[in-house]
Amino acid sequence: MNGRICRDESEDAFARSLHYLKYRPRSRREVIEYLEKKGFSETAVFEAISRLEQYRYINDEEFARIWIDNRTRNRPRGEFALRRELKQKGVSEDIIERMLSGFHEAEPAWRAVLPRLEQWAGIEWLGLKKKVYDHLRRRGFAYATCEEVYKRAAEYLGK
């Protein structure tokens, strides 16, 4: 009887996981924390995670790639912020390092600033520099990237 209860619980955990994954990709740790929060036993969580990995519904390397692509396109972030976000999601340092090798932040940084340039057009050059740097630093971009994007913004605005 106990094996049957555990099997039912594992099935429930698996079903809950699928529902949780329906909205967006998740890291392995996110799914584990979700199932633990829902009160599933360690055995049920382990079995559900094993099945999810077997069916490739969770894969931290793929999750990191999707996260970086999504952030780069929709809500541009610098390498520092991407590292922090992925680490918070439970992705290993090794995977983060591989996924961010060769990451160039200049274009995402420019896309982050471009919508604001019209607002900032009337600001003198020093104020513009502060606005660009503050905007980009809050999003995890490196100092060198801020400088490069500031110069491009100043040229774009004819300053």
Give the number of other Cβ atoms within 10 Å of residue 78's Cβ.
23
- How many Cβ atoms sit within 10 Å of the Cβ of residue 142? 16
Tell me, what's the pLDDT at 41? 95
- The 10s digit of each residue's pLDDT in 53-110 is 999 999 999 999 999 999 999 999 999 999 999 999 999 999 999 999 999 999 999 9
* pLDDT for the residue numbered 74: 92
pTM of this structure = 0.86
Q: What is 2-54's CATH topology?
A: Arc Repressor Mutant, subunit A (1.10.10)
- Band of residue 6 on the pLDDT scale cut at 50, 70, 90: low
Is it the case that residue 7 has pLDDT exceeding 80?
no
Domain 60-100 has CATH 1.10.10: yes
Please enumerate in sequence order all residues whose Cβ is within 8 A of that of 105, keeping only pairs 6 or more positions apart, or say none.
78, 79, 141, 142, 145
| pLDDT level of residue 4 (50, 70, 90 thresholds) | low
On average, the pLDDT of the chain sits at 93
User: For 71, left (φ over 0), alpha (ψ -120 to 50), or beta?
Assistant: alpha
Mention every residue, 6+ apart, whose C-beta is less than 8 A from residue 139.
76, 77, 78, 81, 109, 112
Q: How many helices (H) and strands (E) does the chain have?
A: 10, 0
**Residue 138 pLDDT > 70:** yes
Residue 2 has pLDDT above 80, yes or no: no
pLDDT at 1: 41
- pLDDT surpasses 60 at 43: yes
Residue from 137, 75, 64, 77 nearest 105 by CA = 77
Whole-number pLDDT of residue 12: 96
| pLDDT at 20 > cutoff 60 | yes
Predicted pLDDT of residue 130: 96
d(CA 149, CA 112): 10
